[in-house]
Amino acid sequence: MKHHSTFLRIFFLLMTVSSVLSQTADEFLKQTIDQKAFQAAELGIIIKNFTTDEVILHHQSKKLLTPASILKTMVSARALTFFSPNHTFATRVYLIGSISNSIFYGDILLKGFGDMTLGSEMRSAVQAEQIISDIYQQLKKLGVTCVFGQVVADASYFSLPGIPSGYIQEDVANYYGAGIYGLNYQDNGYEIVFDRKKSGVGVLRYDSLAVNEVNSTVTARGTSDQAYIYFSPNESSVQVVGSIPAGKGPFVIKGAIRNPPFYLAKLVQKSLENSGIEFQNAARAVFSPYTVPGDVLWQKEFLSPPLKDILIQVMHKSNNVYAEALHRHLLKLDESYVFKRAILDDGSGLSPTNRISAENLLQEMESVLNSSNKDSFMSVFPVNAVSGNVRSVLKSNPGKLHIKSGSIGGVRAYAGIRRTKEGNIVGFVLMANELQSKGSSARKAWEPLLSYIANL
């Protein structure tokens, strides 16, 4: 009986593959366009065999559409064009001033150079505790017990504003809408913990360095997290609305730190004070280059994890902060890196005002796939039905596509790579805008075309 069941599964799989292969690309295109979920949608589609230079299929591939998070494929491709896979980003710490009678007359400077991973959960990311320990040990070595100055965070490496202009109000106070600065910390986010009781939902605790007050009207119902944080007119407080999943006990949501450089400066200075170092002035952050008022008595450089590991966070976890940071690095190196026909208000894809064509996006992918960093680029993609945020994509044919998904209101998009049975490299970009259906319906509507690509 067991062998019979196995035979039937293999038989039906072979029949499915045979059915897929018997249809032409144009038939799959028509089948996709005719999907109910796409009836009122704007579509942009292109599939190209990079090895043979053959465009297998295209539909409105030059049309400017909102890409959502598949824009991260362009940022990742360009990052591997400008930087090596092992490139790192720096943060430097300085003691600047002079010492007399155990008093340090000067400042402790934290100068950022766009490391987006500082204080994050990434393996080998630099933690604040390491920086604080090194500063403390150096101060003790110099005999310092009092700082006649402060901790200064210099975040001037990237220009302001930190929050991209295209982000909407609903996003900017939540972790996924955090801004990016020359100096960043713990993904520029913090936690608010709610306590769910029969009497209602209350705020259990929050990070008081990030926010002084949390006002909440949150309720507990349903099964999904629908709580949203908003910045209050009072810069030290936030308002939380919506709902968290029904249940008992603690539930955590994540907010965006309004001023991450200042947060880090306060954290370092408070920790040093708790270790017995006295300060005469409060910590501060600056967004124009810090002017050195004295001699550099000590300095140390801290390095991020390598770019290839950062890109896995960008592509697998769709980390907006990291993608936006890489976008800022690329703009700093070459402002012309963005296509003239593209309209990009960020590098993460969160802005609904972004516009790029499927053809342009595919060109970016093709460019890096023709370079020495081809393998590195392919390795950062999640794999359908296996990893990252595409575990639900094409479950019937797992492990066939290196693919990035993207979705915001009314948008469902995919970009990726398929290595064919003949060893050819095929790239694809599929974008749908103005969708009226829910996310799962739109995902299923793309599956016939994804099945076709998976069986090339």
Which CATH number characterizes residue 99's domain? 3.50.80.20
Give the pLDDT of residue 146: 98
Strand positions, DSSP E, 42-145 = 42-49, 54-59, 90-100, 103-112
**380 and 280 in a common domain:** no
Distance CA 67, CA 192 (A): 31
pTM for this entry: 0.92
Task: Give kind and range of the element (H or E) at residue 314.
Answer: helix 307-316
Distance CA 433, CA 438 (A): 12
**366 and 263 in a common domain:** no
Q: Model confidence at 2, in pLDDT bands (50, 70, 90)?
A: very low
Cβ within 8 Å of residue 419, ≥6 positions away: 425, 426
**399 and 347 in a common domain:** yes
**435 and 336 in a common domain:** yes
Cβ within 8 Å of residue 396, ≥6 positions away: 16, 447, 451
The verdict on residue 70 lying in a domain is yes
Distance CA 235, CA 213 (A): 10
Q: Tell me the average pLDDT across 42-53.
A: 97
The verdict on residue 266 lying in a domain is yes
Q: What is the DSSP letter of 370?
A: T
Q: Tell me the average pLDDT across 143-168.
A: 97
Domain count, the chain: 3
Cα three-residue angle 354-115-237, rounded to 5 degrees: 70
Summarize pLDDT for 82-139 with one digit per residue, the tens.
999 999 999 999 999 999 999 999 999 999 999 999 999 999 999 999 999 999 999 9
The verdict on residue 216 lying in a domain is yes
Contact criterion met (CB below 8 Å) for 21 and 396? no
**108 and 68 in a common domain:** no
**265 and 124 in a common domain:** yes
**344 and 225 in a common domain:** no
Summarize pLDDT for 252-288 with one digit per residue, the tens.
999 999 999 999 999 999 999 999 999 999 999 999 9
- Among residues of the chain, what percentage have pLDDT more than 90? 84
Q: Which residue has the tokens 């500063």?
A: 135
The verdict on residue 195 lying in a domain is yes
Q: Model confidence at 165, in pLDDT bands (50, 70, 90)?
A: very high
Q: Which DSSP string do the residues of 372-392 spell out, in sequence order?
A: TTHHHHHHTS-BTTTSGGGTT
Kindly tell me if the per-residue pLDDT of 17 is higher than 70: no
Give the pLDDT of residue 4: 52
Kindly tell me if the per-residue pLDDT of 12 is higher than 50: no
Kindly tell me if the per-residue pLDDT of 442 is higher than 90: no
Give the pLDDT of residue 441: 85
State which residues form the domain around 119.
90-160+259-305
Distance CA 19, CA 28 (A): 11
The verdict on residue 45 lying in a domain is yes
Structure-block tokens of residue 45: 């589609």
Cβ within 8 Å of residue 425, ≥6 positions away: 49, 50, 51, 369, 417, 418, 419
Give the pLDDT of residue 19: 47
Kindly tell me if the per-residue pLDDT of 15 is higher than 60: no
